[in-house]
């Protein structure tokens, strides 16, 4: 896109998805989490991000196996939320253009990416 062009709907939808992931990750990183609180925290994350414009669906899955492994190496009953404990899907619809995005661990890093773009 050159500096004098208006972004396409697909570009705007991808931008919106990036905003949602930035908000989700940086708003909740560091939140205390335990196996007992994982479900309610995942629901709170989903509902908070779904409030944002153009967001049609958010699914947050806490990787309980990773969470329990981290806690097994600790004397605490909880740990801090990081991307390694999450798998997330966010769907954005901007002017009829649907973007599906995903965050999951890849090579030890919580990678966020565009899965698909449909529509204009």
pLDDT tens profile 49-98 = 999 999 999 999 999 999 999 999 999 999 999 999 999 999 999 999 99
Share of the chain above pLDDT 70, in %: 97
Looking at the domain that runs over 9-118, which CATH code has it been given?
A: 3.30.1300.20
Task: Considering only residues 101 and 4, tell me which one the structure prediction assigns the higher pLDDT.
Answer: 101
Mean predicted lDDT score pLDDT of the chain: 94
- CB contact at 8 A, 24 and 44: no
Query: Domain locations in the chain?
Result: 9-118
Mean pLDDT of 95-103: 96
Three-state secondary structure along the chain?
CCCCCCCCHHHHHHHHHHHHHHHHHHHHCCCEECCCCHHHHHHHHHHHHHCCCCEEEEEEEECHHHHHHHHHCCCCCCEECCHHHEEEEEEEEECCEEEEEEEEEECCEEEEEEEEEECC
Predicted TM-score of the model (pTM): 0.91
Mean pLDDT of 94-116: 95
pLDDT at position 1 over 70: no
Separation in Å, CA 38 to CA 45, 97, 106: 11, 32, 21
- Predicted confidence band of residue 4 (pLDDT cuts 50, 70, 90): confident
What pLDDT, on the 0 to 100 scale, is given for residue 57?
97
């Amino acid at each position: 896109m050159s500096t004098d062009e208006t972004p396409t709907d697909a570009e705007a939808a991808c931008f919106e998805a990036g905003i949602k992931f930035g908000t989700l990750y940086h708003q909740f990183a560091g939140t205390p989490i335990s196996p007992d609180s994982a479900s309610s925290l995942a629901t709170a994350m989903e509902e908070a991000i779904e409030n944002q414009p153009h967001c049609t669906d958010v699914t947050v899955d806490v990787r309980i196996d990773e969470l329990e492994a981290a806690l097994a190496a600790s004397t605490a009953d909880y740990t801090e939320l990081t991307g390694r404990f999450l798998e997330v899907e966010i769907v954005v619809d901007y002017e009829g253009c649907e973007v599906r995005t995903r965050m999951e661990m890849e090579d030890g890093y919580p990678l966020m990416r565009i899965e698909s773009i449909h529509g204009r």
